[in-house]
Amino acid sequence: MSGGTRVRGGSRSRSAPGGGRGLALALLPVIAAGLVVAAGLTPAAPGSTEAPRPVPARETTYACTGAPDLATGQVDAGSSTSARALPGGAAVDGAADPRSWVRSELDDVLGDDADALVVTQRGTGSGAVGFVSGTLDEDQGEGLVVGRCQGVVADAWYAGLGSGQRHLSDLVLTNLADTPAVVDVSLWSADGPVDAVGGDGLVVEPGDTRTVPLADLAAGEPDLGVHVSRRRGAVAVSVLDTSTGASQGSELVSPAPEPARRLVVAGLPAGERGRTLHVLNPSGSTARVAVEVLGSDGAFVPEGLGEVKVGAGRVVSVEVPRSAGSGRVALRLVADTPVVATASVSPTGDDTATTEAVGPWTGPAVVPVKGGLGVPELVLSAPGADADRRVVLEARDADLEVVSRAEVAVPAGTTIGVDPDDELDLDGVTSLVVRSTGGVVGAAQFSDGDRRASLALTAAPTHVLAPRVRPAP
């Protein structure tokens, strides 16, 4: 699961403002045993092949850390919200509201002794979300970052991180529960698996946040693949990636999904320089990865990037050649063994943005706008060649009211750029909701001069997947 929030299932749904819930429901897989017990139901018979069913989420928890500015909100109004600062667990007022969008300074909210803000929102199908953003300090690469506040994940995968002198990545682990959490960290380099000293059984105490520089686990590796596996507990994982060499910058990197044979790294902005594909092969056999570019005119194989060979247990970084073109693109990967992939973008060397292969989303994806961020470009791709896809854009104010709405077509097999300023009235707007019925991947690309940041488009947690159940005897 990619950067999901901690959610609990419910039984009723709430209509979105403006009647936009005609699109399919957003799905976010979680274990729903509590839902089964609360409803007086028992799981389907052993061996049942019935697929899990979507149910509205009734509670969402996420952790915010890593950048100076904070924005919290939701798709639909919830019933109540609580927030606490970690470590310590002190209650925080005013950082979130179940019925509106709230902006604040994270340091002001947390005070001097806390590192993370944990927000819990209740309300059936409200789709609560949080974001951190801003320009970081010089020792953190001076880059622009925009990151999603993370919730509990079972597995978090990354490609293209580092522990070298000029490329440093920090894991930030936040325990969202009142019992200890334990994770295992595995590493791979360009030369093969890396012995992560102390990476097994990392403990995060209840109500605490723990920062783990990858250099503490294995120093001197400029290019790493990483897997964080939750052994027990409720832990959120975020990554701050910093470069201070010839190419500098900062990025809050979202977890990628589990390894797969078919991936689309979406949302690469225009510009033929400074684009690098990172592929991790955690398996025990060599992976052969065919790469296609999805551009404005369709799919093609760029000269010099037709196939990438990744040895067993290795990570490979390959420059995207100029033959891929200077327009907005996505990279479609087909491998003979499951891999993880991301791409980094640094056209001027002044900052770096990272795009992940998060897959298509269904339902509402939320993007913060203005409030120091400006308005991002949406880079959207329809990887399937069967039919054009459509997304609905909603511009919303702080009270969740829809100010304007537009529909955008994404031609089959292509990538397009959408400037929300050209499609919507953005006066007084604090967020965009991008609704999809499936088949579209994309990212919001933020920029401030030469600084840039990328935010993958993923579904807000309005719904969860629950197992099929039968009435209790």
pLDDT at residue 298, as a whole number: 96
Q: Given a cut of 90, is residue 331 above it in pLDDT?
A: yes
Please give the average per-residue pLDDT across 71-78, as a whole number.
97
Contacts of 346-350 with C-beta under 8 Å, sequence gap 24+, read 346/243, 346/247, 346/249, 346/274, 346/276, 347/271, 347/273, 347/274, 347/275, 348/274, 348/450, 349/246, 349/247, 349/248, 349/274, 350/248, 350/249, 350/450, 350/451
pLDDT of residue 465: 78
- Residue 199 CB coordination number (10 Å): 22
Task: Please report, to the nearest 10 degrees, the dihedral formed by the alpha carbons of residues 464, 468, 470, 471 taken in order.
Answer: 0
Asked if residue 41 has pLDDT above 90, the reply is: no
Gap between the Cα atoms of 185 and 68, Å rounded: 27
Q: Per this entry, what is the length of the chain?
A: 473
Q: Closest by alpha carbon to 260, among 177, 163, 341? A: 341
- Is residue 365 scored above 90 in pLDDT? yes
* Alpha carbon distance 258, 256 (integer Å): 7
Instruction: Determine the Cα angle at 374 with ends 368 and 377, to 5°.
Output: 75
Instruction: Kindly tell me if the per-residue pLDDT of 307 is higher than 80.
Output: yes
- What pLDDT band is residue 281 in, cutting at 50, 70 and 90? very high
CA diameter of the chain:
67
pLDDT score at 325: 92
Q: Is the pLDDT of residue 473 over 70?
A: no
pLDDT single digits (tens) 410-438: 999 999 999 999 999 999 999 999 999 99
Decide: 369 and 428 in contact? Cβ < 8 Å: no
Q: What's the average model confidence in pLDDT over 78-85?
A: 97
pLDDT tens, residue by residue, 181-196:
999 999 999 999 999 9
